[in-house]
Structure 1
Amino acid sequence: MKSILIASTSTVHGSGYLEYLLDELKLHFKSAQEILFIPYARPGGISHDEYTKTVSKAFEKIEKTVKGLHEYENPKKAIQNAQAIFVGGGNTFVLVNQLYKNDVLTAIKSAVTSGTPYLGTSAGSNICGLTMNTTNDMPIVYPPSFKTLGLVPFNINPHYLDPIPGSTHMGETRETRIKEFHAYNTQPVIGLREGSWLEVKDDSLKLKGTLDARIFEFGKAPYEIETNTDLEFLK
C-alpha cells in the first residue's frame, strides 16, 4: 500500500525543522525505526553530512534514527532495503541531476509503490509529480531529463504564493508562471501553500493542513480547494 506525504515545506514560520509535521510523521513512519534520507538537493551549499545531521535532530524528537543515502556504497540497494525514505528540499535541478547520475529514480519509485513510506518536502515534493517543470528553482545544473517519479498524476508547485495586493513587484506571479507552463503542457498543477501537504494512502489522495490549495487545470480558470478535499478527480 502506498504511503506518501508530499509537503510544501520543511519549516513553517515560527517553528523548527519539520516541527509542524512531527505528529503526522509519528503515524506516517510508525512501522520504521530508521529513515533513509536523500540529501542531494543540498540547500544553501551545506554538505550532505550537515544536512543529514539537521534531519536527524528533528527525527530524534519522535525517536527515529536517520542515515543519509550518501553514506552507502550502493545507493540502489540502500533504497531497496530502506524502512522509510525522506527526500529533503533545496534546489530541484541539483536533486534531480544527482538522482539521475546515481540511477536511483526507478529504485525510489519501485520502493514507494511497493509500500515503503515516503516523505518529500519542497524539492523532494516536486519530484513526486510527473515532471519537475513547475519548480520555483533556478536551473543551476542541467539534469538529463525533467521527468521525475510520477507518484501522483499531476505536477506540484511547492511554496505557492498568492499575489500581494498593492505590491509594486513587476515580475511574474506564480499563477502567471503556471499558466505559461500550460501553454506547452496539459497536466494539472497543484499550488501547495506553506504548511500544507498531500497525503497518499494507496488509492486515496487528499489535501491536508490548515490552508486551501490552488488548482490549475489545462484550459480552465484556476480555482481553490479546501483542506481535507479528496483529489481523486485529478487522477
Structure 2
Amino acid sequence: MKLLLLSNSAAPGRGYLEHAREVIAGHLSGVDELLFVPYALADHDGYTAKVASFMEGLGIRVRGIHTGSDPRELAASAQAVFIGGGNSFRLLKSLHERGLVEAVAERVRAGAPYMGSSAGTNMACPTLRTTNDMPIVQPPSFEALDLVPFQINPHYLDPAPASAHMGETREERLNQFMEENDVPVLGLREGTWLRLSTEEGAGTGTLTLGGIEAGARLFTSGAEPTEHGPDTDLSQLLAVTPHFDTRTV
C-alpha cells in the first residue's frame, strides 16, 4: 500500500495543498488520472474543480467519483484515490451509502496510491472516533477504511495557556478516548503528514512522519503522550492490534 495522510489541505499564506506539493508529486508519480472523493463537502463539483486546479500543475487529470453512474466501478479501476477534507460524519455516511468503504479499501490494498487530507485522513483509520467534527449526520457505522491499525487526530492543537476557553483541550479529549479504547492515537499538527509504503505481499511497511517542525503527539494507553518530529519512523504503529469499546445499551 501507498498512503499519504495530510493533517490539513491549506496552510496560512499558501494556496490549496501547496505546502505539501513536493510530497504529493512524489506520492502520485506515474499517475495520469486521480479519482477524487468530494463527499465531505456539499458542493461536489466545486470541490472537484478546486482539486483539479491544483493537480493540473502536476500533470494529473482529476475525475470526481460523484460523476459516475456507479461509484464502486470507478473506485475499482482507479489509478489513485484522494479523499478530501470537510465533515467526517457526512463523508463516512456517503461512503457507506454508496458501498465505497469496502470498494476504496480493496483498491488501495491492491496497490492504488491513497491520499487523504483532514477528514480523508480520518477515513484511513479503523473508525472516525478521533475526528474533531460535529456529527451533522448519522452514518450507519463508525467503521472507516481501516488502512492503518491506529487512530489519527488531524489538526491537533496544543493547549493554549493564555486562552479563556473553558472547554476540554484536544489533549483532554484524546485522553478521554484512551480511557475507553485501547488503540494509539497520533495527533497530527498542522502542516504534517504520514507516508506509508508497503512492499507487495508484505504485511507491514515503513511509516514516516513528515512536514514542518511542529511534528506530532502520540497518545498510547497507560502512558504519557510522546513527541515526535519530522522524519520520525513510526512503523511500530503498524503492528498494533486496536481494541475499541463496542458495548451498546
TM range (shorter): over 0.9
Is 1:154 equivalent to 2:157 in the alignment?
A: no
Which residue is 1:208 aligned to? 210
Is 1:82 equivalent to 2:78 in the alignment?
A: yes
Which residue is 1:24 aligned to? 23
Task: State the 1:161 CA deviation.
Answer: 0.3
Letter of the structure 2 residue corresponding to residue 184 of structure 1: E
Identity %: 46
Task: State the 1:81 CA deviation.
Answer: 0.6
Which residue is 1:112 aligned to? 108
State how 1:117-136 maps to structure 2 within 5 Å.
117-136=113-132
Q: 1:55 aligns with which of 51, 73, 79?
A: 51
Task: State the 1:97 CA deviation.
Answer: 0.2
Letter of the structure 2 residue corresponding to residue 19 of structure 1: E
Which residue is 1:9 aligned to? 8
Which residue is 2:189 aligned to? 193
Task: State the 1:212 CA deviation.
Answer: 1.6
Between the aligned partners of 1:61 and 1:32, the Cα distance in structure 2 is: 13
Which residue is 2:34 aligned to? 35
Number of residues paired by the alignment?
Answer: 231
Task: State the 1:157 CA deviation.
Answer: 0.3
Task: State the 1:226 CA deviation.
Answer: 1.6
Letter of the structure 2 residue corresponding to residue 118 of structure 1: Y
TM-score, normalization by structure 1 = 0.96
Pairwise CA RMSD of aligned residues? 0.9
Q: 1:225 aligns with which of 213, 219, 228?
A: 228
Q: Which runs of 4+ in 1 moved over 3 A?
A: none
Structure 2 unaligned blocks of 5 or more = 199-204, 240-249
Structure 1 unaligned blocks of 5 or more = none
**Deviation sequence 1:143-197 (CA, Å, 0-9, x none):** 0111111111111100000011221110110000001111211110000001100
Which residue is 1:171 aligned to? 167
Letter of the structure 2 residue corresponding to residue 149 of structure 1: L
Between the aligned partners of 1:129 and 1:218, the Cα distance in structure 2 is: 17
Is 1:142 equivalent to 2:141 in the alignment?
A: no
Between the aligned partners of 2:24 and 2:7, the Cα distance in structure 1 is: 15
